Structure 1
């Protein structure tokens, strides 16, 4: 057979057998059946599949199990779920594999569930398929109901459920389920490991991540490039660039994904020169940078304020490396230009885009307006987002910040009213810290933690020492027209401050404290954390929505530029 796959036609298919089998006799395999089966495996065109389907019907093979299964699968893969369902409905005796295939390609979770409920016999495979449908749609709670009701679960089923939690921002539940998996003597595999490392990275749970690394080493799970890259990503997101570097150096036959993970890791920690040097080394070794590579490179430039280098990389990615800029690359450039105060250039760049700006990019430009107090441009961007139904809580909060900094409380009140009328809820600030392999989460003003009394006593002592050191609360960032004392009290119970206080009372003196914040750290918390690192002699590593901050002896690795 030639290497080029020939275009199938009815005539070429029929020509395979001079005497096609009758409808009363459908042997499992004949040269004719084998030929059609091969066409179904290789053809990626709906036109070709329709011709093959016609040949199957002409030759009385409409009840052939293998051909029908492959025909159904081909239609599903090409997005023709109506044809796939038709093949399924006209087959007399579908087995569990047919049912599972049609459920998996049902198109939406409602249709899949309807098929699942009519299935005469449910196997581990079909149950896992339904769990997959729910998990992919984001309804992990319903997926968990099916999972918990199963009498017999294989490793694939565990992996689907764990990955569902991980992919939909519920990493704590992924780790809890993994522990349950181990307690039930189910052996994890490489797929399990990749999901759990991702969950650890989301949480910044380095102790759990290190335990997972040890488990990999001691239980025969192959440390290939995929697992090694997942470890790099986990260590970077958990605050240990040193461990990430060690793993990067250990990986043999690195691919571009591994290089990207390390470059992005350096960038998110503000180690911009290291990121750019690694990029140069990567290119010198003959690797072709991808669009992800340039996101890391441009972020590195942004976090260091390297405006000219950023401009050069943005131009070269298309002209030299033939990588077409995406909205994420424009977002990096807007961040770089905006934080450098080049708001007009940033705005012109957005207007020059071939694609429509997304809420993240507009939010980045809006944040630059807040940083530099440009009310006029900020209002213009916010109006654009509202008119396009792209506004989120961040849109209103950023514009409120701009108004508050200018003392425009009427504007702040108007933003609050617009949020309420739009039904948009402000995303609550949440900070987490891992102590003894357990992740503790705090919201602003949180009183639910068992050690709340001790946490607030520690905060009280810290503030006494901070004020002795000259600290003045930055009450101008509080978005409420209230008295100074109330503003100080509101600032004093931000979630990251509670997490730091808990870390101080729960770990040994001199031990580094690592915090993960879901939002951008505010200027007051940034100032306070610098001072705490000085008066306690502790290194504090904080990951916020934008980047990492390493606080040591009163200074931050970001150089107050974030």
Structure 2
């Protein structure tokens, strides 16, 4: 496009910026420079996408600076800011931005409140989250979605209050999905409530028969109680249903390469690849320090 002397539009640049999250940050800054050269840095769509990109890179200060320079801020801009701050663990800044939105911006929507509840979840602000959740319809005219229920339930479970979480699960107008049941199940296991954990695990097995979590927690709780026969029975059930453990995966982008790591790779394989990437990260940081000096 550039070779053919075709000027990129705001939609072209927005699409390019949205696709850069797994690539090195240098690629993002190059596109940012192209945005400035094209005179589109104040465009609401492009600016919001730039804010989102820098949040994905973890460069919160750059994202905030761009947001503060925006002349026009629509709800998408505000939601991008609130979700980005929440995803990066900036709890206080998220709530401050939400209050600013209520004073200056348009009315919040479902996405706005998902970001606010997510910030409360990261900050352990249970009572604040419950207050916002309880007044969603009365104050903002927003009916809680399954995502809002999920945030509140996970927060209660993290706070060691699975019984209140179960009450909300039973009262909500949606069928609970596996992530909600998994949160309640883990909280019950931590508290040692074997009866409730068994009940939730059975519901989870019916919903996700190939999920390994319910079987593993049941086996662990049976083991803690010394019920070895039940441990064997659960493991045989897993083998009979061919339930496989879900292995988590993390991605790290360094310059022009994206590295992938599976859970327990450090223990199982000596972590050679992980230590290699850590050395690369160390060299990268040393280069940045030398550049700043």
TM-score computed with the length of structure 2 as normaliser: 0.81
Q: Contact 1:363 / 1:394 at 8 angstroms: preserved in 2? A: no
Structure 1 unpaired stretches of 5+: 1-154, 156-181, 447-458, 460-488, 513-562
Shift of 1:213: 2.2
Name the CA shift for 1:406/1:258 in 2 (closer, same or farther; >3 Å).
farther
Q: Contact 2:86 / 2:116 at 8 angstroms: preserved in 1? A: yes
Tell me which structure has the larger Cα radius of gyration.
1
In structure 2, distance between residues paired with 1:414 and 1:228:
57
Q: Contact 1:396 / 1:416 at 8 angstroms: preserved in 2? A: no
Name the CA shift for 1:293/1:504 in 2 (closer, same or farther; >3 Å).
same
Shift of 1:429: 2.4
Q: Contact 1:393 / 1:419 at 8 angstroms: preserved in 2? A: no
Shift of 1:425: 3.8
Shift of 1:262: 1.4
Residue 212 of structure 1 corresponds to 31
TM-score computed with the length of structure 1 as normaliser: 0.45
Shift of 1:398: 6.0
Secondary structure in 1 matching 2:108: coil
**Aligned to 2:184, which of 344, 347, 365?**
365
- 1:270 and 2:84 correspond: no
In structure 2, distance between residues paired with 1:427 and 1:317:
35
- Give runs of aligned pairs for residues 17-416 of structure 1, distance below 5 A: 189-201=9-21, 203=22, 205-219=24-38, 223-387=42-206, 389-393=207-211, 395-396=213-214, 399=217, 402-403=220-221, 406=224, 414-416=233-235
Secondary structure in 2 matching 1:288: coil
Name the CA shift for 1:372/1:217 in 2 (closer, same or farther; >3 Å).
farther
Name the CA shift for 1:183/1:288 in 2 (closer, same or farther; >3 Å).
same
- Give runs of aligned pairs for residues 371-520 of structure 1, distance below 5 A: 371-387=190-206, 389-393=207-211, 395-396=213-214, 399=217, 402-403=220-221, 406=224, 414-444=233-263, 489-490=267-268, 493=271, 498-499=273-274, 501-508=275-282, 511=285
Structure 2 unpaired stretches of 5+: 287-293
In structure 2, distance between residues paired with 1:445 and 1:395:
16
Shift of 1:350: 0.6
Secondary structure in 2 matching 1:511: helix
Q: Contact 1:370 / 1:398 at 8 angstroms: preserved in 2? A: no
Cα RMSD (Å) of the superposition? Answer: 3.4
In structure 1, distance between residues paired with 2:175 and 2:126:
24
Shift of 1:355: 1.6
Secondary structure in 2 matching 1:320: helix
